[in-house]
Amino acid sequence: MTDTPQIKNDDPLYRLLREGHINDFNESKVRGERTDLRNCDFRGIDLRGMDADGLDLSGGYFRQADLRGIDFTNTNLEGASIHATKISGTYFPKQLSADEITLSLTHGIRMRYDNSSV
């Protein structure tokens, strides 16, 4: 895992998210189009409405992004950072403890999974 968030301009689905075209992203995902969203920079992006089911967002950098209402229960967020994001109504994977989420939200730590509780 890299420490530096990446802006992957060569990935069309990632570009859709960065440009705020959430519905187009979701439709592309339903059609089976693939994307590599690991270690991506989502800083300040409004991702509300994103279908995150089955995505690998590990190592993602979400500083000040809007994640409200997203269901991440079947999403890999290990190593992601959510410093100062909006998370009202967001579902997180069971492997992430409330303390881990809070530490990332307030201090920007990269979230670590607790696989013993699953």
Per residue in 24-75, pLDDT tens? 999 999 999 999 999 999 999 999 999 999 999 999 999 999 999 999 999 9
What tokens does 23 get?
Answer: 């519905």
Q: Is pLDDT at 117 greater than 60 in this prediction? A: no
Of 116, 51, 115, 106, nearest in space to 78 by CA: 115
User: Is the pLDDT score of 107 beyond 90?
Assistant: yes
pTM of the model: 0.93
Number of domains in the chain: 1
- Give the pLDDT confidence score for residue 2 in this predicted structure: 54
Cβ–Cβ under 8 Å, residues 67 and 88: no
Q: Which domain holds residue 43?
A: 1-118
- Residues 37 and 64: their CA atoms lie apart, in Å, by 18
Quick one: which of 23, 21, 57, 25 has its CA closest to 42? 57
Predicted local confidence at residue 114, as pLDDT = 86
Greatest CA span in the chain, whole angstroms?
38
Task: Say yes or no to pLDDT of 116 above 80.
Answer: no
